[in-house]
Structure 1
Amino acid sequence: MTNTADIFSPVRLGDLELSHRLVMAPLTRNRAAADGTPTELMATHYAQRAGAGLLIAEGTTPNQVGQTYPNIPGLYTDSQVAGWRRVTDAVRAEGGRMFVQIQHGGRVSHPDNSGRTPVSASAVAQPETVHTANGLQDAVVPHALTLAEIADTISDYVAAARNAIDAGFAGVEIHSANGMLPHQFLAGNTNQRSDRYGGSIENRIRFTVEVVTAVADAIGAERVGVRFYPGGTVNSIVETDTEALYSALVTALAAEHLAYLHLVNADPKSPIFQQIRRIWPGKLIANPNLGWGMPLPEDGGRQAALDLLAAGADLISLGRAFIANPDLVERLRTGAPLNRLRDEPLMYVGGENGYNDYPTLAESAAARSEASSVAA
């Protein structure tokens, strides 16, 4: 399937008419309050980037035990919903459209963060350490969810999705990538169950399919997206049957008429990308692999975006380029130079620095003009 659309051509996504195809990817930034309530910092941050065709807000936990790291936002208390409403109001005031990613960390958590013993598909601890308010700590063995607890967890996803709509979001993205709880059900090394949620591919995809369909039934399929990372090894996930696994998973969701499917680190030349594009009948958001830990390309990912669109993607999500450039869309449209991303640790330390202090083109020009006047 070949897409001849340009980055800046309009596209329909669910019930939304978007003026172009650039999406701000969900990005963990650790700027919520300790109780998971979004802050004014966050409202400013997203409003600055409202020029994205669609903003997908950072991974947001649907319940207390699902919290991954410190200062991660939630969607399960009145305070959190009110905080997100301030964010969506600020984005709407700037003309933006916004989904939120619902993220349950499963075993990617720690009692020091959530106050609870983490849960997962099976009692298999993450071998990596976990970031906590008290520094890096060894992961604990998670509690394997019972069938009744799985049903309760799905209900928590549904409640969080309804809260998201109440908070003013246009929709939600279910995070089934990067080693989060749904991914833990998909992968064989984290799912050692022998019941209807484990063993066969049909059983291992069941949790993700049930979460997505339950949320779609609750708020409307046109308001629901889902994110996958086929073959991804983040948080020590190991898939041994990636092609067959995602073929079955995408096929199972294809009839749901979701707003979109979102692929992480998409490679337009990879067989799995091409396979998913053939199977998936709806909109496909592709997130290009620009080399985590490597400097951003000078074009901010524009060529990678064009390659993915030519290979059949409908929209392109960018992360770090949007962090460093609140007016990224204007810069890419005009070919203006990009801000360079400062030290990546600033992504997670809290505060304005490395968050809301990247200048727009207009602000940079004003600063240069002022400096020139002073020098004269």
Structure 2
Amino acid sequence: MTSLFDSFQLGGLRLPNRIVMAPMTRARGTADGLPVPSTATYYAQRATAGLIVSEGLQPSLQGQSNPLTPGLHSAATVAAWRPVTAAVHANGGRIFAQLMHGGRVGHADVVGFHPVAPSAVALTAELYTPQGPRPAPVPRALAIGEIAGEVQAFVDAARRAVDAGFDGIELHGANGYLIQQFLSSGANLRTDAYGGTIAGRIRFAVEVAEATAAAIGGDRVGIRLSPGGSTWETVEEDVPQLYAALFGALAPLELAYAHVLATVDDDAMVSLRKAWRTGFIVNPGGQIGPKAGDRAAGDHWLGLGADLVSYGRAYLANPDLVERFRLGLPLQASDKDSWYAPGDTGYIDYPTYQH
């Protein structure tokens, strides 16, 4: 039986185990989108993971969602990420950069850009800004001639990621951000080639995947998805047909992996697994919520056919998560108040297990 501690060939990388550190926003970047020096320590501490996927990095300033998130949108950001990737590699790890464009989940008070989206459909939620919570604005609908520019932003960021030393990139197509907004029948009301039919709604995701794969190689590109997920008021109709079409369109690219949140039932997840030809990562926690994954969840999903299992919250307070799972050691609980707080407390000060 496959174990979490078995090795796995992921694209051009040989992973020593099947445990993935999932992307998690930590909001500890600088005001101009650079990672801080402690970021190198944070990721290097967790380098025993088979693969680390970074926090969401904005591919452009237009795509920034939250304050103080680092990006990959300039030469300065590339230079600032190089010590991080070098530290991970020095500790024997592998790291992909998650590219996250917020789309309508953005506010001009964050970095001065009015949010863009497939359609001018606003969230009813409040968004984080440097001035505190603010009502989400009505986004500006992208003109059809502008969409290629948003695709190019992902391509440019993918190239910067490789230049910065990342082993690859993950496209954030989950949790209600721009790629999933195009997939969504609620956020995407377009009647042109990028909306309406299932073929239209998947087109942006496919074009971004095609373009980034062409730029850096398909074996360096993954995509994260949350089928039917409802974060940030996402609504998706015809979920089985939508994702069958998306997987079918992505298949020729031979991407490194699909990283799928367990937002549908087990049978639907197994169907997605069978339809995907390369690496298949399951995040057992499903949609963002109170449930944290454990080793039993990982064993469950490996038994259902997943190649790798990703853990988010468990990695916050347990940099040695692989060793704790391997030896059956208890997990530390993280301090929720420090998840997005500035500084090193609750970031790099969680100890490894002391016997």
- TM-score band by shorter chain is over 0.9
Count of residues in Structure 1 that have an aligned counterpart in Structure 2 = 355
Shift of 1:204: 0.4
CA-CA distance at 1:292 after TM superposition: 5.1
> How far, CA to CA, are the matches of 2:220 and 2:278 in structure 1?
13
Partner of 1:311: 304
Answering whether residue 338 of structure 2 is matched by residue 346 of structure 1, we say: yes
Residues 290 and 265 of structure 1: CA distance in aligned 2, closer, same or farther (over 3 Å): closer
Helix, strand or coil: the match of 2:137?
coil
Q: Percent identity?
A: 48
Matched-pair contact (CA < 8 Å) for 1:247–1:275: no
Give a deviation string over 1:82-122, Cα, whole Å, max 9, x none. 11111101111111100010000000010011211100000
Give the equivalent residue in structure 2 for 1:287: 283
- Shift in alpha-carbon separation, 1:272–1:114, aligned structure 2, 3 A: farther
Pairing 1:329–2:322 present: yes
Shift of 1:265: 2.9
Paired residue for 1:16? 13
Q: Distance in 2 between matches of 1:294 and 1:178?
A: 15
Q: Distance in 1 between matches of 2:185 and 2:146?
A: 20
Cα distance in structure 2, aligned partners of 1:163 and 1:347 = 27
Q: How does 1:1-376 map to 2 (within 5 A)?
A: 4-265=1-262, 270-289=266-285, 293-294=289-290, 296=292, 301-342=294-335, 344-361=336-353, 364-365=354-355
Cα gap change, 1:262 to 1:291, in 2 (>3 Å)? closer
Once the two structures are superposed, residues 15-49 of structure 1 have per-residue CA deviations (whole angstroms, 9 ceiling, x without a partner) of 00011100000000001111111111111100110
In 2, the alpha carbon distance for the partners of 1:327 and 1:274 equals 29
Distance between the aligned counterparts of 1:293 and 1:309, measured in 2?
A: 22
The superposition leaves residues 300-350 of structure 1 with CA deviations (integer Å, 9 ceiling, x where unpaired) of: 5100000100101000000011111011111111111111122x2311112
Distance in 1, matches of 2:137 and 2:313, equals 31
SS at match of 1:17: strand
8 Å CA contact retained: 2:263, 2:286: no
1:289 deviation in Å? 1.8
Cα distance in 2, alignment partners of residues 186 and 240 from structure 1: 9
Report the alpha carbon displacement of residue 270 of structure 1 after superposing the two structures with TM. 2.5
- The 2-side partners of 1:353 and 1:270 are apart by 37
2:255 is paired with a residue of what secondary structure? coil
Q: Is the 8 A contact 2:261 2:287 kept in 1?
A: no
Give the distance between the partners of 2:2 and 2:178, measured in 1 at CA. Answer: 35
- C-alpha separation between the residues in 1 aligned to 2:348 and 2:239? 38
2:285/2:291 contact within 8 Å kept: no
CA distance in 1, matches of 2:132, 2:140: 23
The structural deviation recorded for 1:295 is: 6.4
Q: What's the Cα RMSD here?
A: 1.3
| CA distance in 1 between partners of 2:188 and 2:314 (Å) | 35
* Distance in 2, Cα, partners of 1:13 & 1:246: 22
Compute the displacement of 1:277 (Å).
1.1
Residues 293, 264 of structure 1: alpha-carbon distance in 2 compared, 3 angstrom cutoff: closer
* Residue ranges of structure 2 left out of the alignment (5+ in a row): none
Query: Aligned equivalents of 1:186 and 1:293: distance in 2?
Result: 22
Q: TM-score, normalised by structure 2?
A: 0.97
Compared CA separation, residues 230 and 292, structure 1 to 2 (3 A) = closer
AA aligned to 2:78 is: V
Tell me if structure 1 keeps the 8 A contact 2:58–2:72: yes
Higher-Rg structure is 1
Give the CA deviation at 1:272: 2.1
Query: What's the CA shift for 1:50?
Result: 0.6
